[in-house]
Structure 1
């Protein structure tokens, strides 16, 4: 089993070393852009929690569930504030 894993790893390593340097750099940049996509979205949509999202994003890339949850958290930042204002004012006016 281990030799099969080593063989697959060496195949991927050979593929990566045979790439053009521009292709390799592009692949690495795209990999990290996708990995840190929740952090990039948080810059625009949820700046208040950017630090927390960035720190949670580092290990979250290893879990699809956590990564998708971070995507939701990062992209709903401004929307949650607007919804809180809308429904918070509606509930306080109905109580009065």
Structure 2
């Protein structure tokens, strides 16, 4: 329990600006898959944003969402290459 008590003691010693910056950084990291989805995978951005809220509690799910968010356009490119063109 000493670690939790040290964490809360540290938070109480922070000033308002530091606490605000820490909160913004925390939210940025938490919602990183959603931000990546806006850049790379727009067609699934809503689903990724919805799943991002509970996925933040699990590192495995959070990393999986990051991978899904980044590989959106890559999947379209690979699907286009996989289609066979008729031989004339």
Asked whether the two chains share a fold, i.e. TM above 0.5, the reply is yes
Deviates more, 1:79-88 or 1:32-41: 79-88
CA distance in 1, matches of 2:82, 2:12: 56
Report runs of 4+ in structure 1 exceeding 4 Å deviation: none
What corresponds to 1:59 in structure 2?
54
Given the two structures, how large is their TM-score scaled by the length of structure 2?
A: 0.89
Mark the structure with the bigger radius of gyration.
Answer: 1
The CA deviation at 1:20 is 1.6
What corresponds to 1:40 in structure 2?
35
What corresponds to 1:19 in structure 2?
14
After superposition, give the CA deviation of every residue in 1:23-79 in whole Å (9 maximum; x if it has no partner).
101101111111110000000000111110011111111111111110000001111
Q: How many correspondences in the alignment?
A: 88
From 13, 24, 28, the equivalent of 2:23 is 28
Asked if residue 70 in structure 1 is aligned to residue 70 in structure 2, the reply is: no
CA distance in 2, matches of 1:11, 1:83: 50
RMSD between aligned residues: 1.7
Q: Which runs of 5+ in 2 are unaligned?
A: none
Greater helix content: 1
Q: Which runs of 5+ in 1 are unaligned?
A: none
